């Protein structure tokens, strides 16, 4: 089970929890066998020559046993190794062991160098093991594999309960249900809220299964894509059924001869079903080959936010499922043609003169067209709603300019840079290096960045108002520690007052710049300039004066409203910086190497963990939407093509069956345009009926998309009208081609047609 904090007053849930609270849960709970905690870590390795930053995990000694996976080599961490000063041991992933340590079979017990410290290797995890599966936002890497696990080594008693900087999971005891465990956690949470109201009041703890935690955010998207794939398969099967029905109708004379020679109806049905199954199996085999060939492209287009998607393979399970679906489709959609093959009047079929079968075939074909069009409309409407939403999302005002900005993540080791001051000195020297580079307009450093996942709400106090003893949602704000040129580098507009300058030093009176959302939240109908507030551990920081009001930015997501934001000079609110920003006229590819050279000029052993255009960070925030839209749009396009083919096939068949009738009409004086109008009218009837049914179905099914839409209603009239017109136009084009051929029939040829 995964633990999550939840604030009912603001309907906010987060996976980060306070490790101090987790220690109490471990000690006081009776529902769990073990409670393990973890947090992300970055170590700088130089085993391969150049320094390289690799993501891993800090874990408590209980974490790996809680997961129930033993190391492939070596052992778990010991409890005494999860203590301050005793935690310089490491368990490697199988990938890291093979790639960086050349699969050294004697690695256990060896000492390796990371972050300027020695770590003793005590284990190597088995191949394929990876935890956690959800990578941090800043870990935009080719692989989602964690490289290693190291002990926390924390002094729990010195941790603040306000510091939500870890995650916790637990394994239930045998016989304990999740509901019972949640009830116990409610009691423990209430007890901690009474004992520590300033930090724990107002928040709850929710238990979520680890499976739900991993796939919960993408489950709906995956189910919708699965449903879309199913609809496309149904449309394709309806098309195949139509073709098989036409083929069965054309083989009436052949089947009648077989019956006359002694073949039973059941044998003829088996023959038709066998042919249908062979066709379905061949299609399944071709589909499996196409999946194998196109899977690498699909994975390159996929976002890392979908857990374990990178592990997707066309394996035995996929092939078995394909075989099952192929057999099922072959039987279900081959039954009607097989039944048609074995039925009919023997004498009429021998003469191949019966029109009743043709009429039945035409009616069945039109019914299948109605089904195809209805399903296509539902699928195309869903894709169109997502496209409309995506376009609106792209046009959202961010509050800053992400173009021409390079963002680099540089995570400094505590052993070499033990405090915020030393880390800021490193960044100051790097900024001096990059500012003189050609094309660089400005550079700055910060401890948080939009779409990095590093910023979170903090409690503030307003001067002149009584302090609150518990967390107050109305006094929550994102807080960033920034260097002098941050606002200029990000191009955040100043609405009133001033930005920071070189005079805002540690010795000067503390100042802040707030967003207009914060101004409206904290001082409604008042002028915030000159007002003061404070923030810090448990809201006990010094008073800081508002000297500027900046435009609000969307930091958490394009689809989320701007939150209150406070900016403080890094010299006055020292916080370990993680991000270096550069605004430049140079292309990002040139800047990447320049940033690395500037960092190495300051510290040749310090790697740049990540350097990428800020625009790519923004693009990654909507990667899941973009990927889902791409696949759903692809399915919608396939459905349109299949529906057009189905309509064309039915109209062509029915027109061919009426060639003699058309010849008679034209002999009696009908004009080509009359025949054209007749064929199109009869072809469009099932299309219009399918559109009507599809609209009704879409009104019900598109509600599933509500949580995925932004700025668009699930019943958006314009989208419904445009998609209906599009599908109607496709149907009209599919009817017009055979109708034009029918209008050109020579009356003499039509009269001789049998």
pLDDT tens, 422-442?
888 888 888 888 888 888 888
Name residue 43's beta-bridge partners: 54
Reported confidence tier of residue 455, pLDDT bands at 50, 70, 90? low
DSSP class of 76: P
Which domain range does residue 594 map to?
A: 405-620
Distance CA 295, CA 447 (A): 38
The tokens describing 503, both together, are: 């005079």
Which residue, 3, 37, 22, is CA-closest to 161?
22
Distance CA 653, CA 357 (A): 13
**262 to each of 252, 254, 257, 656, 686, how far by Cα in Å?**
15, 13, 9, 32, 39
**373 to each of 384, 644, 731, 734, 742, how far by Cα in Å?**
16, 9, 9, 12, 23
Name residue 477's beta-bridge partners: 458
Distance CA 159, CA 495 (A): 39
Contacts 24+ apart (CB under 8 A), 71-78: 71/123, 71/124, 71/125, 71/126, 72/123, 72/124, 72/125, 72/126, 72/127, 73/107, 73/108, 73/123, 73/124, 74/108, 74/121, 74/122, 74/123, 74/124, 75/122, 75/123, 76/123, 77/122, 77/149, 77/151
HEC string of 360-414? HHHHHHHHHHHHHHHHHHHHHHHHHHHHHHHHHHHCCCCCCCCCCEEEEECCCCC
Task: Among 252-266, 309-323, 596-610, name the one with the lowest average pLDDT.
Answer: 252-266
Reported confidence tier of residue 499, pLDDT bands at 50, 70, 90? very high
Task: Among 358-362, 543-547, 574-578, name the one with the lowest average pLDDT.
Answer: 358-362
Q: Could you tell me if 599 and 610 lie in one domain?
A: yes
Q: Could you tell me if 611 and 513 lie in one domain?
A: yes
Which residue, 477, 440, 431, 436, is CA-closest to 579?
431
pLDDT of 662 > 70? The answer is no
More confident of the two residues 562 and 456: 562
Report the 10 Å Cβ neighbour count for 701. 18
pLDDT the model gives residue 551:
93
Reported confidence tier of residue 529, pLDDT bands at 50, 70, 90? very high
Report the 10 Å Cβ neighbour count for 280. 23
Distance CA 614, CA 296 (A): 26
The tokens describing 350, both together, are: 């021998």
How many CA atoms are closer than 13 Å to the CA of 125, on its beta-carbon side?
24
Q: Could you tell me if 616 and 470 lie in one domain?
A: yes
In a domain, 399, yes or no: no
Chosen domain end from 577, 597, 620: 620
DSSP class of 466: P
Q: Could you tell me if 681 and 584 lie in one domain?
A: no
Q: Could you tell me if 615 and 632 lie in one domain?
A: no
Chain-centre distance for alpha carbon 426: 36
Highest mean pLDDT range out of 40-54, 104-118, 248-262, 355-369?
104-118
Which residue, 338, 339, 356, 359, is CA-closest to 347?
356
Tell how strand 148-151 and strand 89-92 pair up.
antiparallel
Chosen domain end from 620, 640, 659: 620
Distance CA 699, CA 99 (A): 53
Reported confidence tier of residue 139, pLDDT bands at 50, 70, 90? very low
More confident of the two residues 290 and 624: 290
In a domain, 425, yes or no: yes
Highest mean pLDDT range out of 298-302, 579-583, 623-627, 637-641?
579-583
Do the Cβ atoms of 437 and 594 come closer than 8 Å? yes
pLDDT of 327 > 60? The answer is yes
Q: Is the peptide bond before 132 cis (omega within 30 degrees of 0)?
A: yes
Q: Can you say whether the dihedral through the CA atoms of 322, 325, 328, 332 is positive or negative?
A: negative
Torsion angle in degrees (nearest 10) through CA of 386, 390, 396, 399? 120
Chosen domain end from 190, 208, 226: 208
Q: Could you tell me if 57 and 190 lie in one domain?
A: yes
Q: For 593-601, what is the mean pLDDT? A: 86
In a domain, 49, yes or no: yes
Please name the helix (run of DSSP H) or strand (run of DSSP E) that holds residue 55, with its range, or none.
strand 52-59
pLDDT digit string, tens, across residues 298-312:
777 776 666 666 667
Q: For 631-638, what is the mean pLDDT? A: 84
Residues comprising the chain, all counted: 754
Q: For 637-643, what is the mean pLDDT? A: 83
In a domain, 681, yes or no: yes
The tokens describing 119, both together, are: 């770590």
Distance CA 336, CA 371 (A): 15
Reduced to 3 states (helix: H, G, I; strand: E, B; else coil), residue 452 is: coil
Number of domains composing the chain: 3
Q: Could you tell me if 655 and 673 lie in one domain?
A: yes
In a domain, 12, yes or no: yes
Query: pTM here?
Result: 0.74
Q: Could you tell me if 31 and 58 lie in one domain?
A: yes
Which residue, 164, 192, 205, 217, is CA-closest to 16?
164
Q: Could you tell me if 612 and 639 lie in one domain?
A: no
Query: From the CA atom positions of the chain, what is the Rg in Å?
Result: 34
In a domain, 400, yes or no: no
Q: Could you tell me if 162 and 268 lie in one domain?
A: no
In a domain, 663, yes or no: yes
Backbone angles phi, psi at 578, to 5 degrees: -120, -15
Distance CA 24, CA 196 (A): 12
Reduced to 3 states (helix: H, G, I; strand: E, B; else coil), residue 493 is: coil
In a domain, 213, yes or no: no
Distance CA 495, CA 485 (A): 16
pLDDT of 77 > 50? The answer is yes
Q: What is the DSSP string of 513-524?
A: EEEHHHHHHHST
pLDDT the model gives residue 345:
55
Tell how strand 476-482 and strand 565-569 pair up.
parallel
Phi-psi region of 612 (alpha: psi -120 to 50; beta: other; left: phi over 0): beta
Phi-psi region of 326 (alpha: psi -120 to 50; beta: other; left: phi over 0): alpha
- The whole-chain average pLDDT of the chain stands at 80
Q: Could you tell me if 502 and 579 lie in one domain?
A: yes
**255 to each of 361, 645, 722, how far by Cα in Å?**
16, 27, 47
pLDDT digit string, tens, across residues 197-243:
877 877 888 888 877 776 666 777 777 878 888 888 888 877 777 77
Do the Cβ atoms of 581 and 486 come closer than 8 Å? yes
Q: Could you tell me if 558 and 682 lie in one domain?
A: no
The tokens describing 724, both together, are: 């209906």
Q: For 516-528, what is the mean pLDDT? A: 90
pLDDT of 353 > 50? The answer is no
Lookup result for tokens 């170590």: 43
pLDDT digit string, tens, across residues 29-49:
888 888 888 988 888 886 656
The tokens describing 675, both together, are: 């025949």
Reported confidence tier of residue 142, pLDDT bands at 50, 70, 90? very low
Please name the helix (run of DSSP H) or strand (run of DSSP E) that holds residue 73, with its range, or none.
strand 73-74
HEC string of 560-585? CCCCCEEEEECCCCCCCCCEEEEEEC
The tokens describing 504, both together, are: 């805002």
């Amino acid at each position: 089970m995964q633990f999550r904090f939840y604030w009912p007053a603001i309907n906010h849930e987060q996976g980060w929890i306070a490790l101090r609270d987790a220690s109490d849960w471990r000690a006081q709970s009776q529902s769990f066998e073990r409670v393990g905690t973890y947090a992300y870590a970055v170590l700088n390795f130089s085993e391969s020559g150049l320094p390289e930053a690799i993501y891993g995990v800090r874990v408590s000694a209980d974490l790996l046993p809680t997961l129930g996976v033993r190391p492939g080599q070596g052992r778990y961490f010991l409890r005494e190794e999860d203590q301050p000063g005793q935690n310089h041991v490491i368990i490697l992933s199988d990938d890291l062991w093979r790639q960086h340590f050349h699969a050294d079979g004697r690695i256990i017990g060896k000492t390796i160098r990371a972050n300027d410290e020695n770590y003793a290797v005590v284990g190597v995890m088995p191949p394929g093991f990876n935890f956690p599966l959800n990578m941090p936002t800043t870990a935009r890497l080719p692989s989602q594999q964690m490289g290693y696990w190291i002990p926390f080594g924390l002094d729990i008693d010195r941790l603040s309960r306000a510091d939500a900087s870890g995650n916790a999971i637990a394994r239930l005891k045998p016989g304990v249900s999740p509901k019972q465990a949640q009830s116990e956690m409610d009691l423990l949470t209430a007890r901690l809220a009474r004992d520590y109201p300033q930090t724990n009041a107002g928040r709850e703890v929710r238990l979520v299964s680890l499976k739900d935690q991993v796939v919960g955010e993408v489950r709906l998207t995956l189910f919708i894509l699965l449903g879309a794939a199913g609809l496309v398969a149904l449309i394709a099967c309806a098309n195949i059924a139509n073709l098989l029905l036409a083929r069965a109708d054309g083989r009436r004379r052949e089947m009648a001869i077989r019956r006359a020679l002694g073949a039973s109806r059941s044998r003829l049905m088996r023959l038709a079903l066998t042919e249908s199954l062979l066709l379905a199996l061949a299609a399944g085999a071709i589909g499996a080959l196409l999946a194998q060939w196109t899977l690498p492209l699909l994975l390159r287009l996929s976002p890392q936010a979908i857990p374990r998607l990178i592990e997707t393979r066309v394996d035995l399970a996929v092939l078995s499922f394909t075989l099952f679906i192929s057999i099922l489709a072959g039987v279900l959609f081959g039954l009607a043609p097989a039944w048609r093959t074995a039925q009919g009047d023997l004498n009429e079929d021998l003469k191949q003169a019966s029109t009743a079968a043709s009429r039945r075939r035409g009616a069945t074909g039109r019914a299948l067209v109605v089904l195809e069009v209805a399903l296509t409309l539902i699928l195309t409407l869903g894709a169109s709603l997502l496209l409309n939403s995506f376009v609106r999302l792209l046009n959202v005002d961010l509050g800053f300019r992400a173009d021409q900005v390079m963002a680099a993540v540089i995570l400094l080791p505590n052993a070499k840079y033990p405090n915020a001051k030393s880390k800021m000195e490193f960044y100051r020297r790097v900024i001096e290096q990059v500012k003189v580079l050609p094309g660089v307009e400005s550079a700055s450093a910060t401890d948080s960045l939009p779409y990095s996942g590093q910023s979170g709400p903090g409690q503030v106090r307003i001067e002149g108002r009584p302090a609150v003893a518990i967390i107050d949602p109305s006094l929550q704000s994102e807080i960033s520690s920034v260097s002098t040129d941050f606002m200029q580098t990000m191009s955040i507009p100043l609405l009133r007052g001033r930005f920071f300058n070189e005079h805002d030093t540690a010795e000067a009176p503390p100042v802040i710049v707030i967003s207009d959302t914060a101004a409206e939240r904290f001082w409604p109908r008042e002028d915030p300039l000159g007002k003061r507030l404070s923030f810090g551990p448990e809201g006990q920081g010094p008073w800081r004066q508002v000297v500027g009001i900046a435009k609000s930015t969307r930091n958490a997501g394009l689809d989320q409203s701007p939150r209150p934001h406070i900016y403080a000079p890094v010299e006055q609110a020292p916080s370990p910086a993680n991000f270096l920003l550069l605004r430049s006229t140079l292309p990002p590819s040139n800047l990447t190497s320049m940033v690395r050279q500037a960092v190495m000029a300051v510290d040749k052993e310090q790697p740049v963990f990540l350097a990428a255009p800020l625009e790519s960070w923004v693009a990654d925030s909507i990667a899941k939407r973009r990927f889902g839209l791409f696949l759903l749009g692809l399915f919608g396009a396939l459905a349109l093509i299949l529906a057009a083919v189905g309509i064309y096939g039915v109209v062509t068949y029915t027109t061919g069956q009426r060639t003699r009738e058309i010849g008679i009409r034209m002999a009696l004086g009908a004009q080509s345009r009359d025949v054209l109008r007749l064929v199109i009218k009869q072809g469009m009837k099932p299309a219009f009926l399918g559109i009507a049914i599809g609209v009704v179905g879409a009104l019900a099914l598109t509600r599933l998309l509500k949580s995925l839409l932004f700025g668009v209603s699930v019943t958006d009239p314009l989208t419904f009208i445009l998609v209906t017109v599009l599908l109607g136009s496709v149907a009209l084009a599919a009817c017009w081609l055979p109708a034009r051929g029918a209008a050109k029939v020579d009356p003499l040829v039509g009269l001789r047609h049998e």
